[in-house]
């Protein structure tokens, strides 16, 4: 009897150990795949997540990445736009400065003697148009220092200067004050230095060096700008 009980006890103990060993092996086998799937997400916290939690985390990570990329793209576009606007402002400033400088030269640079002749390079620029008074389209005639053209050969102008081709024009002083700088489109800058009995309203007489030159140029029409 004693031997039988001892034999049964031995079998029970062996069975218990076997079951314990199998349980340990099964638990390790079950834990390993989960740990492998969640190792990246759980390395720092040591917590095993379910597959749904892992998917949710991956989706959140993907969304955060997309938002970061979109933000970076928007910032890059904003920076590029700001740079383009700054470049445009700099170009506009340079253009404005150039125009102001050009207009200043028209008002202050000496008006030297030159041959009067039409040139397309002397058409009124935007700087001239925006910084002067447009007087409209005028009739241009031409005169020389001879007695036939000037009444008295070799006389001075109404303002007391010696008439010079390329500088002197005769105007109606009630419209264009003597001493004014006038831009004749296609001909350049002149100074209103003279007057004449036949020079009224929108008519200008342009001084040239000889009667032949005055006859050759005849009658022209041009837009007139009062510079100052």
pLDDT tens for residues 84-117? 777 776 655 544 555 555 556 777 788 888 999 9
SS3 call for 17: helix
Q: Nearest 5°: phi and psi at 170?
A: -100, 135
pTM greater than 0.85 (yes/no): no
> How far from chain centre, in Å, is Cα 126?
17
Poorest-pLDDT segment among 48-62, 79-93, 139-153, 165-179 = 79-93
pLDDT bin (cut points 50, 70, 90) of residue 77 is confident
Contact 227, 191 (CB under 8 A): no
Distance CA 37, CA 130 (A): 75
pLDDT at 64: 85
List pLDDT tens digits, range 141-163.
999 998 888 777 778 999 999 99
Question: 224 has which bridge partners?
Answer: 136, 184
List pLDDT tens digits, range 16-49.
444 444 444 444 444 444 445 455 545 555 556 6
Q: Is the pLDDT of residue 55 over 50?
A: yes
């Amino acid at each position: 009897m004693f031997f039988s009980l001892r034999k049964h006890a031995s079998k029970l103990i062996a069975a218990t150990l076997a079951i314990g060993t199998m349980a340990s092996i099964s638990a390790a086998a079950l834990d390993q795949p989960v740990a492998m799937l969640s190792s990246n997400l759980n390395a720092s916290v040591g917590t095993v997540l379910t597959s749904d939690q892992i998917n949710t985390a991956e989706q959140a990570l993907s969304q955060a990445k997309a938002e970061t990329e979109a933000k970076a793209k928007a910032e890059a576009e904003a920076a590029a736009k700001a740079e383009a606007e700054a470049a445009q402002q700099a170009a506009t400033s340079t253009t404005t400065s150039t125009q102001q400088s050009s207009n200043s030269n028209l008002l202050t640079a000496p008006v030297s003697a030159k041959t009067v002749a039409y040139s397309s390079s002397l058409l009124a620029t935007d700087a001239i148009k925006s910084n002067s008074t447009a007087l409209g389209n005028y009739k241009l005639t031409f005169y020389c220092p001879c007695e036939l053209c000037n009444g008295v050969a070799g006389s001075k102008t109404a303002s007391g200067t010696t008439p010079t081709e390329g500088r002197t024009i005769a105007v109606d002083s009630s419209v264009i004050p003597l001493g004014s700088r006038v831009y004749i489109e296609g001909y350049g800058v002149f100074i209103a230095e003279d007057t004449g009995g036949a020079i009224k309203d929108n008519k200008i007489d342009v001084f040239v060096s000889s009667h032949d030159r005055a006859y050759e140029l005849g009658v022209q029409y041009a837009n007139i700008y009062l510079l100052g």
